[in-house]
Structure 1
Amino acid sequence: MSTAGTQTTPKRKPKRPPRLYFNLRSPFSWMGLRQLEERFPQAPEVIEYVPYWDPDEQTVAALDERGSGFHYTQMSKAKHLYILQDTKRLSARFGYPMAWPVDIDPWWERPHLAWLRARHLGRERAFYAAVTEARWERGENICDADVLRRVAESAGFDGEEMLAAAYDPELRAEGVDALAAAYDDDVFGIPYFKVGRHRFWGLDRVDAFLDELIPALAKAAGPTGSAEPAGTAPATPPEVPADLVDQVGAYDSDSAGGCG
């Protein structure tokens, strides 16, 4: 059968959902996510949350092997001292109780790959709430194995299973995918928000992100859909935009990608 004159329709690349890069180290990430979800409670349903952290030598080698990298650079002592003051001011302004943690030999793969494990279990929100409360409200070292085990168990997880995540080859690979995605998205600090071609960095860009996100979600939802921040939303929570449903459902098992 002749195919002369026939044309093939090019496949359209699926639209990527809005992304939020976060980590468990940065106080700005912690406060930024709280601010986002207080203003827009639907955020976890329509935004892809991607973990981002300071990689260890094994992860750096894996990133190098695939031609990827890591844009973030460690801060100076002067900047660190400024951040100590700034976060105290900000947490007081927002009314968030805060105890500054002391990180001794932190290994950030441990809590972040445990978060990926929790996502596979469909309970990443519970894990995130438990570890951020431990770190930022009680000042605990969540990279410490005993601390993380106890925190995980307090949230209903198997503590040993969560600790084992950092040694799981598949989760390790998924973590590399997460950091490679961050590199491709030009992430250099946290929190980092992306919707379409628009990018927003920092705690003070939450409102700007929402200004771009809300119309984008409303457009995707069509004339009957809506997505409004807290305080202006209708009594019935809006439906997740139809073209995002499949992608949102995949977050529990996909391979998505510390610092502020």
Structure 2
Amino acid sequence: MISKVEFHFDFGSPNAYLCHRVLPDISSRTQTEIRYVPILLGGIFKATNNRSPMEQYANVRNKKEYLAEETQRFLLRHNITDFKRNPHFPVNTLMAMRGAVFAMKNSWAQTYTDIMYQAMWEEERNIANLETFRSILENADLPALEIIEACNDPEIKKSLIESSMNSVERGNFGSPTFFAGNAMFFGKDSLEDFERQLISQATAV
């Protein structure tokens, strides 16, 4: 049996959003619960001396064009029709990820995760803006004031930092990242291998 299956995510990653759209099917097919773990991508980049693909490949000829084609193939393969490039990208997700830490302690965690990903990658909204953030929460009937207050709670701040650094210690350097037991998988291109690992470990005696 798999002791721990996790998705380490940040709302700021478009590839993490795409994985978020596919994970429910993987969870259903493998009969595996996938735990969402909030991390702060900027902190992980700093700790690992990594950079976003946008920065890494800014001056690499043909690379951005290929990545766009690869993303389009992924969208078609998984019938994702509502993905949009956010005009505010890159967006500071600190507040939203602190909110995610708080959300994971409550029964509405899935709703929070869904609406933040939707706002960021379907509705083209700037989730770093406090009023926009509040509006997203209120429209979903979530406790906006309580969540916003939690974003300033020292324990929530500490928890997000610790979660990010623990992720780095386990081998992570970005998002989307998945763990199946001790095995780590990075990127949306690893989803098939991740699913095979879940099947293999679930059937092991």
Which of the residues 104, 113, 123 maps onto 1:128?
Answer: 113
Letter in 2 for 1:138: E
The answer to whether the Cα contact below 8 Å between 1:71 and 1:183 also exists between their aligned partners in 2 is no
Structure 1 residues 89 and 175: CA distance shift in structure 2, 3 A: same
Map Cα deviations across residues 139-191 of structure 1 (whole Å, 9 max, x no partner): 11112111111111122212222222331101011101110111111111221
Asked if structure 1 preserves the Cα contact closer than 8 Å seen for 2:32 and 2:198, the reply is no
Structure 1, 72-81 or 178-187: larger mean CA deviation: 72-81
Matched residue type, 2:27: F
Assess if the C-alpha contact under 8 Å between 1:27 and 1:87 holds in 2.
no
* 1:120 counterpart SS class: coil
Matched, 1:91 2:91: no
Q: Does the CA-based 8 Å contact 2:30-2:199 persist in structure 1?
A: no
CA separation in 2, counterparts of 1:217 and 1:93?
26
Which residue does the alignment assign to 2:138?
153
**Conservation of the 8 A alpha-carbon contact between 2:12 and 2:90:** no
The alignment's TM-score, normalised by the length of structure 2, stands at 0.82
Structure ID, larger Rg:
1
Counterpart for residue 104 of structure 2: 119
CA RMSD of aligned residues (A): 2.9
Tell me what 2:156 maps to.
171
Distance 1:169 1:190 in 2: 24
Provide the residue aligned with 1:231 in structure 2: none
**Correspondence for 1:40:** 27
Q: Within 5 A, what are the aligned runs for 1:189-204?
A: 189-204=174-189
Partner of 1:73: 51
Q: Which runs of 5+ in 1 are unaligned?
A: 1-14, 64-68, 223-260
Displacement of 1:45 in angstroms is 6.3
Q: CA deviation at 1:28?
A: 1.0
Identity %: 19
What is the aligned length? 197
1:24 to 2:8 alignment: no
Corresponding residue for 2:38?
51
> CA separation of 1:208/1:105 partners in 2, compared to 1, >3 Å: closer, same or farther?
closer
Gaps of 5+ in 2: none
CA-CA distance at 1:41 after TM superposition: 2.8
Question: Match for residue 93 of structure 2?
Answer: 108
User: Higher relative contact order by CA 8 Å / sep ≥ 6: 1 or 2?
Assistant: 2
Give the structure with the larger helix fraction.
Answer: 2
Tell me, in whole angstroms, the C-alpha distance in 2 between the residues paired with 1:32 and 1:118.
20
Mapped contact 1:165–1:171 kept (Cα < 8 A): yes
Could you report, residue by residue, the CA deviation over 1:18-59 in whole angstroms, capped at 9, with x for unpaired residues?
222112111111111222212323889633321122347xx9
Aligned partners of 1:103 and 1:141 also within 8 Å: yes
